[in-house]
Amino acid sequence: MIKIALALAPVFFALTFCGLQERLTGGGSNSNGTTTGSNSSSTSSGVSAEKAKLSAAQQAIVDGGTETKWDDQGLSWKLPASWKKMDVKKDSFNYQSPDNAFLLVNISTLGDNFPADISLKAYHEQALQQLKNGKYESVKMVEIDGLPGVEFVETMPEDKGGPRRHQWIAYRKYLDQTQQLNVMTSTRGNNFDKHTDDFTAILYSMKAVK
């Protein structure tokens, strides 16, 4: 089943970069898929992000999880004890459950003048369009450990044995570098519901060195 993880890679990058250039140079409507108020924050581009909030079941997963650090990037997640390392490098961090659910994280280093807020807004608008098109079942801006990002969950694939993803994309400054964080949890469509709470708990448990 390692082939599933390898097969995700081209889809992963196609998803994140498809159509972004046009959105970075264009305008676009304001977000209409986020909440505002005391439990939200805003980027400089005016997009609101709600604070990550766990359900009781998800909090229990975090509380019982094992802190798993990525020292090269100053990041960590709480993973179920049964999840094992697949491969960890400077810019990628991959873990796997016994039944082939995955945490796949990729770091992209960008130029100092990269318009991170504009890019984040573009991702959000693109994801909202995919929501309308039926590709995603949910889209929202979520702040995890102080970092606002776009969170989206794919609908069930036509082939239920194909991959289905729960993903979060954000930007940060780390060690004087502008980075894109692309954090994805995934498994087969027919295995996804079993891991719904696991995936949210893992994403929302992220801690980042500031």
Give the tens place of pLDDT for each residue, 132-172: 999 999 999 999 999 999 999 999 999 999 999 999 999 99
User: 36-69: b or e for each residue (b if 16 or more CB lie within 10 Å)?
Assistant: eeeebbbbebebbbbbbebeeebeebbeebeebe
Whether residue 40 is predicted with pLDDT greater than 60 in this model: the reply is yes
pLDDT tens-digit series, residues 181-204: 999 999 999 999 999 999 999 999
Indicate the angle between helix axes 196-204 and 56-63, nearest 10 degrees: 60
**pLDDT at residue 171, rounded to an integer:** 97
Whether residue 87 is predicted with pLDDT greater than 90 in this model: the reply is yes
| Residues 19, 165, 159: CA angle, nearest 5 degrees | 100
Q: What is the DSSP string of 161-189?
A: TSEEEEEEEEEEEETTEEEEEEEEEEEEH
**pLDDT at residue 41, rounded to an integer:** 63
**pLDDT at residue 55, rounded to an integer:** 98
pLDDT level of residue 46 (50, 70, 90 thresholds): low
Whether residue 114 is predicted with pLDDT greater than 90 in this model: the reply is yes
Q: Check residues 154 and 16 and name the one with the higher pLDDT.
A: 154
**pLDDT at residue 210, rounded to an integer:** 81
**pLDDT at residue 143, rounded to an integer:** 98
Long-range pairs of 13-17 with CB within 8 A, sequence gap ≥ 24: 15/167, 16/123, 16/169, 16/180, 16/182
CATH fold group of domain 2-19+82-191: Protein Transport Mog1p; Chain A (3.40.1000)
Q: Check residues 104 and 18 and name the one with the higher pLDDT.
A: 104
The radius of gyration of the chain's CA atoms, rounded to the nearest angstrom, is 16
Mean pLDDT computed over 114-125: 96
